[in-house]
Structure 1
Amino acid sequence: MATMNVSLPEPMKDWVEAQSRTGRYANASDYVRDLIRKDQDRAEKVARMQQLVNEGLDSGEASRTMDQLREDAIRMAKG
């Protein structure tokens, strides 16, 4: 595993150390790795959402009205 040194202001350093003392994380590195994993997951979700938005915009104008969409959604929800 690679090593990386990070400089933090004292309040942030205290926060990280406090998180590891809760027992949820083994140490400060474990906490930082968890933050990075969560940020990676969030970035992937944002990219996927942007992809879906672009697909929707590229698909053109819908042929069904809002009332038809609503009726279809209600019908699908009822099973």
Structure 2
Amino acid sequence: MSRQSISSTEPNDKWLKAQVQSQEYTSKSELINDLIRQARQQQAQIDWFKAKIERAEKSGFSDESKPEILTLSKARLNG
């Protein structure tokens, strides 16, 4: 595991400390690693949607634009 030093703003540092104090996480490092994992998962979902949209546009199946397809997909996903 690599060690890194990061700086955070005062409001962010207070929030990190509050999360650790609430015993949701055992350390700031654990919390930051969890946030990074979540961001990576979110990016993977975004990449998946983009790939689906590009394939749909290239197939000629839809006359809708990328933003229109993305909005519709998000609406269906969120119910």
The answer to whether TM tops 0.5 is yes
Structure 1 residues 39-66: Cα deviation after superposition (integer angstroms, max 9, x where no partner) = 000000000000000010011146xxxx
Is 1:11 aligned to residue 11 of structure 2? Answer: yes
Unpaired runs of at least 5, structure 1: 63-79
TM-score (norm 1): 0.73
C-alpha distance in 1, partners of 2:10/2:60?
A: 53
Partner of 1:68: none
Partner of 1:30: 30
Q: How many matched pairs? A: 62
Unpaired runs of at least 5, structure 2: 63-79
Identity of aligned residues (%): 24
Larger of the two Rg values belongs to structure: 1
**RMSD, aligned α-carbons:** 1.1
Q: What aligned pairs does 1:51-62 form with structure 2 within 5 A after superposition?
A: 51-61=51-61
